Amino acid sequence: MNAPTPTPAEALRTALAGLLDGLPPKQATQAVDRLIANYRGRTPTDAPVLRDRSDVAAYAAYRMPATFEAVRSALDAFAAAAPEGWAPGSHVDIGGGTGAATWAVSATWPTERPVTVLDWAEPALALGRELAESNPLLSAARWQRSRIGAALTVESTALVTISYVLGELTEADRGSVVEAAADAGETVVIIEPGTPDGYARVIEARDRLIAAGMRIAAPCPHSAACPIEPGKDWCHFSSRVSRSSLHRKVKGGSLAYEDEKFSYVAATRLPAVPAQGRIVRKPQIRKGQVLLDLCEPEGALARSTVTKRQGVRYKAARDAEWGDAWPPAEQSAGSTD
Ligand X SMILES: C[S@@+](CC[C@H](N)C(=O)[O-])C[C@H]1O[C@@H](n2cnc3c(N)ncnc32)[C@H](O)[C@@H]1O
Residues that bind ligand X (CB under 6 A): 48, 50, 63-64, 67, 95-97, 100-101, 119-121, 124, 147-148, 163-165, 168-169, 173
Nearer to ligand X, 113 or 215 (CB): 113
For the four alpha carbons of 82, 88, 216 and 104, in that order, the dihedral sign comes to positive
Nearer to ligand X, 265 or 275 (CB): 265
Least Å distance between CB 307 and ligand X? 41
List CB contacts of 229: < 8 A, sequence separation 6 or more: none
Crossing angle of helices 25-41 and 53-81, in 10° steps, is 60
Least Å distance between CB 25 and ligand X? 23
- H or E segment to which residue 175 belongs: helix 171-184
Beta carbons within 10 angstroms of residue 320's beta carbon:
20
Nearer to ligand X, 123 or 283 (CB): 123
Beta carbons within 10 angstroms of residue 146's beta carbon:
18
Q: With CA atoms as reference, report the closest residue to 167 among 141, 137, 204, 142.
A: 204
Nearer to ligand X, 180 or 295 (CB): 180
Contact, 49 vs 74, CB < 8 A? no
Nearer to ligand X, 143 or 164 (CB): 164
Residues across the chain: 337
Nearer to ligand X, 177 or 267 (CB): 177
Least Å distance between CB 106 and ligand X? 14
Least Å distance between CB 231 and ligand X? 25
C-alpha to C-alpha distance for 314 and 296, rounded to whole angstroms: 19
Least Å distance between CB 33 and ligand X? 16
Cβ-proximal residue to ligand X, closest one: 97
Nearer to ligand X, 67 or 304 (CB): 67
Least Å distance between CB 187 and ligand X? 17
Q: Specify the amino acid at residue 25.
A: P
Contact, 114 vs 88, CB < 8 A? no
| b/e sequence 290-316, b meaning 16+ C-beta within 10 Å | bebbbbbbeeebeebebeeeeeebbeb
Nearer to ligand X, 32 or 50 (CB): 50
List CB contacts of 41: < 8 A, sequence separation 6 or more: none
Contact, 96 vs 102, CB < 8 A? yes
Least Å distance between CB 161 and ligand X? 8
Q: With CA atoms as reference, report the closest residue to 173 among 39, 42, 45, 36.
A: 45
Least Å distance between CB 271 and ligand X? 28
Least Å distance between CB 262 and ligand X? 10
Contact, 244 vs 17, CB < 8 A? yes
Helix, strand, or coil (residue 187): strand
Nearer to ligand X, 164 or 326 (CB): 164
Helix, strand, or coil (residue 239): strand
